[in-house]
Amino acid sequence: MINGTVVDLSRTQFAATALYHYLFVPLTLGLSFLLAAMETVYVTTGKPIYKDMARFWGKLFMINFALGVATGLTMEFQFGTNWSFYSSFVGDIFGAPLAIEGLMAFFMESTFVGLMVFGWDRLSRGQHLAVTWLVALGSNLSALWILIANSFMQDPSGAAFNPVTMRMELTSFQELIFNSDAQSKFVHTSIAGYVTAAIFVAGVSAWYMLRNRHMELAKRSFRMAALYGVLATVGVITLGDALGFVAAHAQPTKLAAMEGQWKSEPAPMPFNLIAFPDQARQENHYAIQVPALLSLLVTHSLDGTVPGIDALQRRAALRVENGIPAVEALKVLSKDPANAAALAGFNAHRQDLGYGFLAQRYEADPGKATAGEIAQAARDSIPPVASVFWAFRLMVGLGLLMLAFFVLALLYTLPNVVHRKTWFLKVAVWMIPVPFLANEFGWLTAELGRQPWTVYGVLPTWMSASTHSVAYMAFSLIGFVALYTAFISVEMYLMMRAVRQGPEENWRIES
């Protein structure tokens, strides 16, 4: 059995690298389309200021893109080094969208990035505009395929476990691609990137206006960012609601944790606005509730209900009991794949195989698991409620803050008075970190809410890790954190230097 400390360190290492990497991804997704929009205005109107805007923000895009690539490359290698059983178990499915992402999206994006940067004086206006749009398309296609892979972990569609090969095998590529979690998460994540880029551009533009530098570029950039941002923020909130609706069906334990819903209640269900969940006692402390709001948010009706953690835990206990015979049959099949009785027994209980694995954590021979061990395995099926509860609320709270900011930004920029609102310009600068934090909290909600599974309902996290030593994992964790901290430091230094320098003089920008 894998050392629990090794599993925890493996999780921490992957979480650390993913959170670092995810600081770069949203800005790349959003800024690529904002660049395309700026250049489109330039090509259609012929006004040089929009070309200057596209070139300046394109320089910042390139810095972020380069560091994003550097931080993302190591993540895929971790699947083979730190999560070898996971890679073996689901590699046939998980590897396909990642391979397509590399071949179809990343190579396209990287190729056209070079043409976008160096092609201003070598391509016609129309050709360069097409290249910029292809960069934006490639960036978002990369996100699509990565989120398809991730959504298989959240809602394993289009695959089935083969007891002969002891692996998950792809049964429907169409179901894998059109997984409802993948589609809603892709749109939600991409639009969150657009919000990130809009606030970044607005914040830097506000910094210039406060210093009375590059005023024409700053005011026009701020206006485009405000328009882009208010639409994107409304979209990300709307799609977030849709994603919650999907989660209610695919991952009821995640939804219950997000809402701190320990007990099943009759409709209309109240919404816990603020609470301090206690996992040990399975109750909330100091809860402030809004009557009927949970039913409205999740079921879009006043008579809808969602199961509480108490009901989900009872359901999990039954599934653990039903999954234990599948694990027992699998042991026989691993030695005798032609055993017809074992195969029949496995097929009768295969839908709960993953829950049987939960019991194996406490009893190597799950057929001997006690009632207490089965109950503990059922409790393990509930994610860390407090972490998921607060990560979700912080994400939503920051999203509403950004919506309010963009509404004000639009009200000030449309009549062209934003440069006179010194207090608001200062707020805009301080808003720059907000979307990055919101994206991080969103990632934490999604990934912590999936626990204790790497593949929801199929493969527990404790089984997925490689059998490394604690010393090896601790050393590699420290190394990755140090390396990625250096990447972040380089990103911030280069970005701040580029912003301080401003647009180059030969771009004809007002100084």
Query: What digits encode the pLDDT tens for the residues 34-58?
Result: 999 999 999 999 999 999 999 999 9
Look at residues 225, 238, 240 and name the one whose alpha carbon lies nearest to residue 406: 225
Q: What is the average per-residue pLDDT within 421-446?
A: 95
Residue 509: per-residue pLDDT? 41
Reading the block at residue 109, the tokens are 């994006």
Look at residues 315, 317, 295, 296 and name the one whose alpha carbon lies nearest to residue 306: 295
Q: Are 202 and 175 in contact (CB under 8 A)?
A: no
Q: What is the average per-residue pLDDT within 73-97?
A: 84
Measured CA angle at 114 (ends 113, 120), to 5 deg? 100
**Cα distance between residue 228 and residue 251, in whole Å:** 32
Residue 319: per-residue pLDDT? 95
Q: Percent of the chain scored above 70 by pLDDT?
A: 97
Q: What is the average per-residue pLDDT within 453-474?
A: 90
Say what the pTM is.
0.91
Query: What digits encode the pLDDT tens for the residues 135-191?
Result: 998 888 888 888 898 888 988 988 999 988 888 998 988 888 888 888 888 888 889
Residue 3: per-residue pLDDT? 66
**Placement of tokens 């816990």 in the chain:** 272
Identity of the highest mean pLDDT range in 28-32, 74-78, 105-109, 197-201: 197-201
Residue 506: per-residue pLDDT? 47
Look at residues 240, 265, 263, 185 and name the one whose alpha carbon lies nearest to residue 392: 240
Query: What digits encode the pLDDT tens for the residues 1-18?
Result: 566 788 889 899 989 888
